[in-house]
DNA sequence: ATGTCC
């Protein structure tokens, strides 16, 4: 009988494997396991630890054995920057909605020697380094994975001078133009005459070094594209229950365009390079290694800061291109435009001193600052105004947050059930995988209720025509 | 999130 009983980190630690990167290498050996039971595997693991030399050429354990012989994961104590015994304080909003893994990651982040304060938003879930929905203020240090892989991932909303009732006569045009002017999928961009122009491509930061210079062409190609995963471009109806003086918009329902995407391949490449540089310089204990940080005064820190800002502005430019194309295509006037990053780091004041506030999947919500918190492809999104809650480091959630992991959703959800929900909500969907189904997300109303102290709702957005990247299995 | 491990 084939025994597929999984082996996890705890099993290996019980055998004496240290909680260092050696544990990760050891777990990889389990992926090559063929026809061996868990008991047999564990017996091998024990012997590899005791006599690694004998396993150097083994087809399953060779890599692990080599790592042990080379002393990987037995780093000299003095190389490692210790975490503080007691972390700085952090507030949690809607803890009943938050998975334990995210809270553990926040606890680790709070123990960083550079940590000043933190906060966890109600849509938080486990990420790489800092949890998604995590906010962390640090002193003179930037954590590339505290910003995230998709630097400058953001929302942009255009509200048009078109009344909601007119939407139903425009559906054909809206859908056609949405398909015509947007581009989705990993690696995808525009070619030839379809490439967009924007001042961002002339920015001096592209001349900082050869690394960033090499990303300029890709940035041009992908300018105005949306990428994959949970990114979208959608038409919907924006409902103001009362007149908003600041926006100068009367009570009523308006056609609106909402977009969610980031800095595409360019930002991901910057994030990857600078987190690696940070890890080489800033060696932290195993559980904190993805929180490696750069001193802002160091050369690498200044390079990252400049490139992060460039990637943020590039992400903004991508939204601008999409909104400009579609606004022109439908010949509408824009009454108001609102936008915000939700994966970024800012220099802000906290209790009288300057700190670096990392928001990784969190909406800036300083007093009076507007932001957009999307729901799902069928659930409403909200235009909000920050209340400036210092305990939340002036932040709010960046969405509903997942209720099902991507794999769970793909495995358990049925295409006809998703279709039924879309039909019920009157939403037309172009693209998207099952992992983006409405049921894969938490109830946005509960998430909003959990952050009533952080933001006021200004208006509500109801999605009507949604485009996302095609399902991975259907991708060309 | 990203052409999914340089």
Kindly state whether residues A171 and A297 are assigned to the same domain. Answer: yes
Give the lowest-confidence range in A95-104, A133-142, A163-172, A444-453.
A95-104
Kindly state whether residues A252 and A390 are assigned to the same domain. Answer: yes
Residue A268 to residue A271: CA distance in whole angstroms? 5
- pLDDT score recorded for residue A472: 61
Has residue A1 got a pLDDT over 60? no
- Decide: A256 and A235 in contact? Cβ < 8 Å: yes
Spanning CA of A235 to C1' of B5, the rounded length in angstroms is 38
Task: Give the other-Cβ count within 10 Å of A197's Cβ.
Answer: 11
Residue A410 counted as domain residue: yes
Has residue A2 got a pLDDT over 70? no
Residue A454 to residue A102: CA distance in whole angstroms? 20
A410-414 average pLDDT score: 90
* A86 labelled binding-site residue: no
Residue A160 counted as domain residue: yes
Kindly state whether residues A290 and A392 are assigned to the same domain. Answer: yes
- pLDDT score recorded for residue A426: 97
> A211-220 burial, b for 16+ CB within 10 Å, e for fewer?
ebeebbeebb
Which residues partner with A418 through β-bridges?
none
Spanning CA of A277 to C1' of B6, the rounded length in angstroms is 13
Catalytic residue among A59, A181, A398, A445: A398
For A250, the domain range is: 153-468
Has residue A78 got a pLDDT over 70? no
Nucleotide nearest to A228 (CA to C1'): B1
Residue A147 counted as domain residue: no
Has residue A34 got a pLDDT over 80? no
* A152 labelled binding-site residue: no
- pLDDT score recorded for residue A474: 43
Number of helical (H) and strand (E) elements in chain A, helices listed first: 14, 17
Is beta strand A232-240 parallel, antiparallel or unpaired with respect to A455-470?
A: antiparallel
Nucleotide nearest to A469 (CA to C1'): B1
Q: Is A125 a catalytic residue?
A: no
Kindly state whether residues A201 and A326 are assigned to the same domain. Answer: yes
Point out the residue nearest to B4 (C-alpha to C1'): A186
* A87 labelled binding-site residue: no
In chain A, the number of structural domains is 2
Domain limit, last residue, from A32, A54, A70: A70
- pLDDT score recorded for residue A159: 98
Residue A107 counted as domain residue: no
Spanning CA of A222 to C1' of B2, the rounded length in angstroms is 13
Residue A102 counted as domain residue: no
- pLDDT score recorded for residue A4: 67
Has residue A69 got a pLDDT over 90? no
Domain limit, last residue, from A70, A85, A108: A70
Nucleotide nearest to A261 (CA to C1'): B1
Kindly state whether residues A333 and A442 are assigned to the same domain. Answer: yes
- pLDDT score recorded for residue A7: 85
Q: Which residues fall inside 7 Å of strand B, measured at CB?
A: A 149-150, 153, 186-188, 218, 227-231, 261-262, 264-265, 268, 272, 469, 475
Residue A143 counted as domain residue: no
Residue A123 counted as domain residue: no
Kindly state whether residues A351 and A218 are assigned to the same domain. Answer: yes
**Contacts of A157 by beta carbon, 8 Å cutoff, 6+ apart:** A238, A256, A257, A258, A259, A337, A338, A339, A372, A383, A461
What phi and psi, each to the nearest 5 degrees, are found at residue A156?
A: -140, 140
Residue A326 to residue A332: CA distance in whole angstroms? 9
- pLDDT score recorded for residue A209: 94
Residue A83 counted as domain residue: no
pLDDT, one tens digit per residue, over A282-317 is 999 988 999 999 999 999 999 999 999 999 999 999
pLDDT, one tens digit per residue, over A422-460 is 999 999 999 999 999 999 999 999 999 999 999 999 999
Q: Where are the alpha helices (DSSP H) in A134-263?
A: 144-147, 171-181, 210-213, 216-222
């Amino acid at each position: 009988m084939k025994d597929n009983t999984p082996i996890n980190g705890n099993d290996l630690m019980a055998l004496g494997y240290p909680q260092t990167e050696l544990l990760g290498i050891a777990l990889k050996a389990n992926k090559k396991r063929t026809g061996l039971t868990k008991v047999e595997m564990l017996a091998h693991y024990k012997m590899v630890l005791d006599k690694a030399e004998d396993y150097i050429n083994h087809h399953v354990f060779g890599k692990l054995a080599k790592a042990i012989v080379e002393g990987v994961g037995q780093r000299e104590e003095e190389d490692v920057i210790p975490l503080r015994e007691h972390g700085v304080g952090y507030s949690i909003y809607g803890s009943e909605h938050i998975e334990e893994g995210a809270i553990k990651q926040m606890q680790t982040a709070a123990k960083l020697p550079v940590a000043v304060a933190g906060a966890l938003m109600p849509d938080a879930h486990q990420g790489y380094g800092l949890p998604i929905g995590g906010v962390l203020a640090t002193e003179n240090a930037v954590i590339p994975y505290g910003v995230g892989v998709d630097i400058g991932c953001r929302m942009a909303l255009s509200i048009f001078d078109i009344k909601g009732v007119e939407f139903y006569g425009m559906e054909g045009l809206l859908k056609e133009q949405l398909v015509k002017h947007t581009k989705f999928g990993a690696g995808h961009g525009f070619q030839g005459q379809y490439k967009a122009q924007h001042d961002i491509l002339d920015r001096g930061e592209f001349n900082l070094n050869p690394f960033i210079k090499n990303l300029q062409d890709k940035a041009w190609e992908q300018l105005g594209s949306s990428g994959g995963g949970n990114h979208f471009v959608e038409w919907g109806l924006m409902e103001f229950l009362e007149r908003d003086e600041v926006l100068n918009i009367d009570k009523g329902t308006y056609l609106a365009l909402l977009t969610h995407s980031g800095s595409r391949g360019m930002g991901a490449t910057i994030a990857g390079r600078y987190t690696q540089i940070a890890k080489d310089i800033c060696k932290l204990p195993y559980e904190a290694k993805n929180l490696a940080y750069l001193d802002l005064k160091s050369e690498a820190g200044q390079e990252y800061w400049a490139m992060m800002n460039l990637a943020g502005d590039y992400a903004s430019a991508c939204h601008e291109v999409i909104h400009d194309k579609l606004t022109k295509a439908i010949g509408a006037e824009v009454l108001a435009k609102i936008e915000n990053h939700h994966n970024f780091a800012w220099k802000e004041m906290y209790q009288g001193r300057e700190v670096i506030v990392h928001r990784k999947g969190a909406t800036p919500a300083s007093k009076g600052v507007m932001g957009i918190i999307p729901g799902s492809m069928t659930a409403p999104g909200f235009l909000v105004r920050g209340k400036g809650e210092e305990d939340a480091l002036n932040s709010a959630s960046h969405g509903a947050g997942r209720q099902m992991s991507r794999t769970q959703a793909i495995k358990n959800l049925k295409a006809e059930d998703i279709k039924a929900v879309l039909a019920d909500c009157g939403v037309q969907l172009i693209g998207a995988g099952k992992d983006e189904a409405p049921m894969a997300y938490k109830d946005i109303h509960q998430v909003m209720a959990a952050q009533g102290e952080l933001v006021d709702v200004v208006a509500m957005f109801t999605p009507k025509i949604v485009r996302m990247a095609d399902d991975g299995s259907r991708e060309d």
